[in-house]
Chain A
Amino acid sequence: AAQGWPCPACGVAALSPGAQRDALLALAKQNILAKLRLPARPSAPRPPARGALLTALRRMRAQRSAAFPGMLRSPLPFTPPLLVLRAGSSTSHSARLHFRFSQEVAGSTEILRATLYLWWAAPGRGARPVTVRLLQPGPAGPDVTVASETRLEAQSSGWTTLDVGAAVRSLFGQDAPRLTVELEVPEGWGSPLPSNHSDSHWPFVVARARARKSHRLHRR
Chain B
Amino acid sequence: GVDCGAGSRMCCRQEFFVDFKEIGWEDWIIQPEGYHMNYCAGLCPLHVAGIPGLAASFHTAVLNRVKAASAAAAVGSCCVPTQRRPLSLLYYDRDSNIVKTDIPDMIVDSCGCT
A interface residues, Cβ below 8 angstroms from B: 6-10, 12-13, 24-25, 27-29, 31-32, 35-36, 38, 41-48, 80-81, 84, 86
Min distance, Cβ B43 to any Cβ of chain A, angstroms: 9
State in angstroms the CA–CA spacing of A6 and B75 once bound together: 8
Shortest beta-carbon distance from A176 to chain B in Å? 12
- A48 and B30 form a contact (CB under 8 A): no
- Complex CA gap A44/B63 in Å reads 50
How far is B44's CA from A78's CA once the two chains are assembled, in angstroms?
Answer: 57
Footprint of A on B, CB under 8 Å?
16, 18, 23, 25, 27-28, 30-31, 35, 37, 39-42, 44, 75-76, 78-80, 87, 89-94, 96, 98, 101, 103, 106
Specify which of A10, A32, A46 lies most central, judged by the most chain B CB atoms within 10 Å of its CB: A32
A-B contact count (CB 8 A): 74
Residues on B with C-beta less than 8 A from A45 are 27-28, 92, 96
Residue from A9, A25, A44, A47 whose CB has the most chain B CB atoms within 10 Å: A9
Contact yes or no, B103 A32, CB < 8 A = yes
One of A13, A29, A44, A84 near B30 (C-beta < 8 A): A84
**Among B30, B42, B76, contact of A81 (Cβ-Cβ < 8 Å):** B30
Contact A42 B92 (CB under 8 A): yes
Cβ of B37 and Cβ of A24 under 8 Å apart?
yes
What residues of B have a CB within 8 angstroms of the CB of A81 in the complex?
Answer: 30, 98
Would A44 and B18 be within 8 Å (CB), given that A6-B76, A12-B39, A29-B23 are in contact? no
